[in-house]
Structure formats: structure tokens, C-alpha cells
């Protein structure tokens, strides 16, 4: 069928079009079916019918959105040939998984290829996520899924001595990456760190690094930066590593499901894509974190290590204390300030110690330190100022101000202080509530917003002592955060949870 192109300057994120209802009947297609669009020069692409309309497009017209007309290079009024086409075979494989059956490597590869090529509708992609959540992936499927994600995306070989780390998340603050990268690259290792932006947390590593430098670069620029500095800290969404993972995560997020096999493949595919030979996984455990019991953490660690072994990535997992925030600042600017203070030698001791522990593992795995001496080498690099010098080099390479100090980080300007109503020992700081307060204050969009903790678990406080300060860029957001602080119990003192906003 020959149809005339009608353009809509709307980006949809996937190839979709609109047909007139009468034309759909003649083609024998329904909403959600696929069609093939061909230009006279025989350039073709497969897309999906998203809707039928007698108002948006007339008889003999095809409504084309930005994603399609950019790929096909068509303009308004062009004539294209439209034909019905079959559903992707991978839909049958998804149905197979829905029935709890094992998927072979070739079947998983086809599914992931169709995900990357946008050949699956939202409903079909959701079925894939739900099937993996209900029935899970065994180890063979997980490894096949990981390899398929790697093979369908960009791969960057940064050479020998490439190391990486990942944290499962769920702990407020915890900005260890921004200390580990300068420590390890100062030791002569390569650490091309791609990190995430916040989704449900007050800040991701990319949001925090963005306070100090740019985080979006082309692959060639990243190669140049790594060659000059040994590493970088950038937003992973700016490169095309394991693109299927990003598409699947977009479906998982609104469903609030996180299938274990998908988590393993998500993490390990991105490490394999940068040719990491040595990897440390931080698995925080504790009340309020993503994983609350040691058994679950140990099982997850075992699986990470096995996947790493089968991908030829030397992997070690550290099960760490995730029962309370790490560092004092919660929010991009406050967390960046913590990092700079640590590099200057005055930062939060829990953030420094955890960063040193994780650095020690990678120094030993990579052979830069003999077993048992990685921690002392990491301490020497940090305390001598080598890590600070290296971070300045990285910041400059990423187009930031290398001379910025912790004292120059802009916070606020609006603030409210929360004080202890009783005296006693700090028993517990709730990660989830503290993070919620920071987000209400404006994080992560407002980099200067957040929560600045004044106490840590185990501290003795008197009545009236400050527990934390809420910072916000806008008075209304500060008011929202203060209201939440009054209604919730983020810090437990002496068995009771009592605080007052003043």
C-alpha cells in the first residue's frame, strides 16, 4: 500500500506510527501489529502501529513521529510503501518463559536484539520483565542474558589493569566511587567508571560528580580522558553500553520489581563492556537498605562471583553495613562536599574507611598490593595527597574547576535545623526517611538541596543538640521537607524517636 507521509515533531523513544482506520482494515492489521515501511530507494524499517485514527491522519496518509522519520530520512509528502509483517519470533520465547520453561542462549540473544531494535511493544516488554520476575533465570540463562546485553551494545577495551566497582544501593550518601577512582588511578590502575543518575534516591554518583565537572561525553572523548588520567566518573546513559538494560529498567521501575537475574546481568554486562578484569561489588545489608538479611546478601554475592568467573572477571563481594547513611551529606552538593573534604583529609570517617576498604580489595586483586597490604597502600595514597591531585586531574579532564575546595561548594540557601528533644545515644538513622526528606527538599534536580547529618550512630547527644539540617533552593520545598520531618522519625535516640524542627 502506498501512503503519503504526515510528520509529527514528537519524540516517542521508539518507532511508532498512526494509520487511518480504513487503511488498517485494507492492510489487515490491528493496533499493536507491526508494519514494514519502505522508501522508493528500498530503505526499510519495521515499526509498530500504535493507534488508529480518522482525525490525526486521513485516508492514504501515514502519521510518522520523529524517531521514524529520522531513521528513514523522510519528509512530509513523501510516498512510502507500507506492508504488514510478522511478529518477532522472540515473542514466542517470552511466552515460553512465562510458562516457566528454560530459555537457550540463542533465544535470549534474539529477545535482547529485539529489545535493542525496538521490535517489542511496551506490553511485550512488560511480559518479559514479569516472566523473569515470576520464574527467574537460572545461572546459564543469567550468563546468556549478560553476554547478549554486552554483544548488542558498545564495547570499549580500556586495556590491561582495568578495574571497576558497583554498589547494590539503598544507602543514603555512600559516595565511595568518587574516592575509589582517584585512589586507584593514582596507583596506576585504569578505572573507567560509568555511573547512574538518581531514580528514587536523592543523588546518584553522576549527579554528585556533575557538581564538580561535566559527566556526558562521547565514547572517543572517554577514551582520550582515560588515556590521559587513567579513569573518569561519568553518566552511563551518555554511552551505549548494554542499551537493552536501560530499556528493561524503564519497565521495571513503574512496576517496582527488580528480578535478581536481571540485576546480575545489568551490573555485569556493563563491567564486561569496558573490559574490566577485576571487580568489587559492595552489598550493603541492614534495616532500611535494599537487602536486610545476611543470608540473602551471601547468596547474591555467591551468584555475582559465579557470573564473574564465567565472564572471566575476577570478582569479589564485600557485605557492608547498610543500616545507616554513609557520610554526612545527602544530596548532590553535600555529597560532593564530603568527597572533597575526604580528599583534603577532614571528611567523614565512615566514608573514608569504606572507600579505603573497597580500594584495598581492587589493589590486591589487580596485583598492585600483596594480600593484606591493600589497605595500607590505599591509606598512603589518600593521606599523601596523591588521590587529591589525581581527582583534580580528572575534574579538569571532565571540564570542571580542578581547584574547587569543599568550602566553595554552594549549599542551600534555605535551611531548617532538627534538634534532639531528649538526651541519649543515637541508636538508628533511617536511610529511607532521610532520603525522602532530601528528595522533598529538591534532590536530585536541585543540586544544592539535601540533608546534612550532624550525628552518627553511637554518638551521645544532649537535649537541643542539632541532629541534621535540611537545605533547599526554594522555600516551598523546605516547608515540605520540614513537614515530613515532623511527621516521621528519622533518628532514634535511646530507644525513643524524638526530634523537633525549630
Catalytic residues: 258
Burial letters 445-482, b for 16+ CB under 10 A, else e? ebbbbbbbbbbbbeeebeeeebbbbbbbbeeebbebbb
| Cβ–Cβ under 8 Å, residues 353 and 473 | no
* Cell of residue 441, nine digits: 527538599
d(CA 13, CA 32): 16
Residue 33's closest CA among 46, 20, 42, 43? 46
Per the listing, cell 577532614 goes with 346
* Cell of residue 2, nine digits: 502506498
Is residue 237 packed enough to be buried (19+ CB in 10 Å), middle (13-18) or exposed (0-12)? Answer: middle
d(CA 151, CA 145): 10
d(CA 443, CA 437): 9
Q: Which segments of 20-174 are extended strands (E)?
A: 34-38, 44-52, 61-65, 79-84, 163-167
Task: Give one word for 34, left, alpha or beta, with left for phi > 0 and alpha for psi -120 to 50.
Answer: beta
* Cell of residue 81, nine digits: 510503501
Distance of CA 447 to the CA centre of its chain: 17
H/E stretch holding 232: strand 231-235
d(CA 191, CA 179): 12
Phi, psi of 319 (to 5 degrees): -90, 115
d(CA 150, CA 157): 12
Three-state DSSP class for 3?
Answer: strand
Amino acid at each position: 500500500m502506498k501512503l503519503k507521509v504526515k510528520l509529527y515533531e514528537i519524540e516517542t523513544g521508539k518507532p511508532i506510527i498512526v494509520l487511518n482506520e480504513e487503511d488498517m482494515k485494507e492492510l489487515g492489521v490491528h493496533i499493536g501489529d507491526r508494519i514494514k515501511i519502505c522508501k522508493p530507494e528500498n530503505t526499510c524499517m519495521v515499526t509498530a502501529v500504535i493507534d488508529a485514527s480518522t482525525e490525526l491522519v486521513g485516508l492514504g496518509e501515514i502519521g510518522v513521529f520523529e524517531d521514524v522519520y529520522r531513521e528513514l530520512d523522510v519528509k512530509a509528502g513523501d510516498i512510502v510503501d507500507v506492508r504488514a509483517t510478522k511478529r518477532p519470533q522472540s515473542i514466542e520465547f517470552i511466552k515460553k518463559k512465562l510458562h516457566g520453561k528454560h530459555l537457550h542462549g540463542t533465544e535470549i540473544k534474539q529477545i535482547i536484539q529485539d529489545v535493542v531494535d525496538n521490535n517489542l511493544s511496551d506490553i511485550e516488554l512488560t511480559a518479559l520483565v514479569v516472566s523473569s520476575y515470576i520464574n527467574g533465570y537460572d545461572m546459564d540463562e543469567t550468563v546468556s542474558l549478560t553476554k547478549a546485553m554486552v554483544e548488542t551494545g558498545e564495547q570499549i577495551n580500556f586495556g590491561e589493569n582495568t578495574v571497576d566497582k558497583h554498589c547494590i544501593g539503598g544507602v543514603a550518601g555512600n559516595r565511595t566511587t568518587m574516592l575509589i577512582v582517584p585512589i586507584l588511578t593514582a596507583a596506576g590502575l585504569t578505572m573507567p567508571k560509568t555511573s547512574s543518575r538518581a531514580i528514587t534516591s536523592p543523588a546518584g554518583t553522576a549527579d554528585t560528580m556533575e557538581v564538580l565537572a561535566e559527566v556526558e561525553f562521547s565514547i572517543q572523548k572517554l577514551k582520550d580522558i582515560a588515556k590521559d588520567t587513567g579513569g573518569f566518573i561519568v553518566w552511563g546513559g551518555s554511552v551505549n553500553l548494554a542499551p537493552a538494560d536501560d530499556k528493561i529498567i524503564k519497565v521495571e521501575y513503574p512496576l517496582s520489581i527488580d528480578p535478581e537475574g536481571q540485576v546480575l546481568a545489568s551490573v555485569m554486562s556493563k563491567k564486561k563492556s569496558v573490559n574490566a578484569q577485576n571487580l568489587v561489588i559492595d552489598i550493603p545489608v541492614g534495616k532500611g537498605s535494599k537487602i536486610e538479611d545476611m543470608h540473602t546478601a551471601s547468596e547474591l554475592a555467591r551468584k555475582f562471583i559465579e557470573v564473574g568467573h564465567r565472564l572471566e572477571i575476577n570478582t569479589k563481594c564485600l557485605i557492608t553495613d547498610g543500616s545507616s547513611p554513609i557520610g554526612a551529606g545527602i544530596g548532590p552538593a553535600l555529597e560532593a562536599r564530603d568527597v572533597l573534604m575526604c580528599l583534603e583529609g577532614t571528611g567523614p570517617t565512615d566514608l573514608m574507611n569504606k572507600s579505603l576498604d573497597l580500594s584495598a580489595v581492587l589493589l590486591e586483586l589487580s596485583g598492585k598490593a600483596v594480600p593484606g597490604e591493600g589497605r595500607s597502600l590505599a591509606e598512603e595514597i589518600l593521606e599523601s595527597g596523591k588521590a587529591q591531585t589525581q581527582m583534580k586531574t580528572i575534574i579538569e579532564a571532565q571540564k570542571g574547576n580542578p581547584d574547587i575546595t569543599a568550602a566553595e561548594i554552594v549549599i542551600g540557601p534555605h535551611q531548617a535545623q532538627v534538634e534532639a528533644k531528649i538526651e541519649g545515644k543515637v541508636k538508628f538513622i533511617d536511610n529511607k526517611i532521610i532520603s525522602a526528606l532530601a528528595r522533598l527538599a529538591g534532590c536530585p534536580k536541585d543540586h544544592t538541596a539535601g540533608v546534612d547529618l550532624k550525628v552518627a550512630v553511637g554518638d551521645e547527644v544532649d537535649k537541643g543538640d542539632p541532629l541534621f539540617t535540611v537545605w533547599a533552593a526554594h522555600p516551598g520545598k523546605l516547608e515540605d521537607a520540614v513537614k515530613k520531618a515532623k511527621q516521621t522519625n528519622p533518628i532514634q535516640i535511646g530507644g525513643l524517636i524524638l526530634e523537633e524542627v525549630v
